[in-house]
Amino acid sequence: MANTYDINIQIVPAVDFTGTKFYSFGQAASLGVRGIQKLVNIFAKYLLTPVGTDPTDLTYGTQFTNLIGSNVVLSDAQEVLNLSVQQAVVAIQGYQTNQAGLADDERLASAVVTSYILIPEGPGFAAAVLITNVSGQQLQIILPTLQVRQ
């Protein structure tokens, strides 16, 4: 299992941003990744998938993307983000528990919100989540400005 790859996903450039599309495959040809980047891809996919939208597993995903365009106050949005990150960690670690051959650099140790930036004029926020694997490697996900309504 240590030699399997994932398709790399990238943040969509600001000029191409439409609706709720944050990530795309980016390159013209697929780019295989493994290790910490594969773990970050798995985490980002889980965090940014609205719960109930995966037809193969209706429990997959979080409530995080429901914040976009919502009437949630910015202070409450931070709590939703923290809870969504915790939910993603529990789900991914639970799934990985049953994968004996999974490499340590693809096994999730922790994920924490390291930065929450209020953008009152938006209104909205941006955030950073630090992903750590069992090998001790770290990689940060930067979530772009997410707007809510007041």
Encode pLDDT of 112-135 as tens digits: 999 998 887 777 888 999 999 999
| pLDDT the model gives residue 16 | 57
Q: Please write the tens of the pLDDT for every residue from 69-113.
A: 788 888 888 999 999 999 999 999 999 998 989 999 999 999 999
Q: What is the DSSP letter of 68?
A: T
* Burial of residue 23, with CB atoms counted within 10 A of its CB: 0-12 exposed, 13-18 middle, 19 or more buried: middle
- Please name each of the domains of the chain with its CATH number: 6-147 (3.10.450)
CA distance 122 to 125: 8
Rounded to two decimals, the pTM is: 0.79
Average pLDDT of the chain to the nearest whole number: 81
In this structure, are residues 74 and 123 in contact, taking their beta carbons and an 8 Å threshold? Answer: yes
- Under the banding of pLDDT at 50, 70 and 90, the label for residue 144 is confident
CA distance 99 to 42: 14
CA distance 112 to 129: 5
8-17, 35-44, 137-146: which has the highest mean pLDDT?
35-44
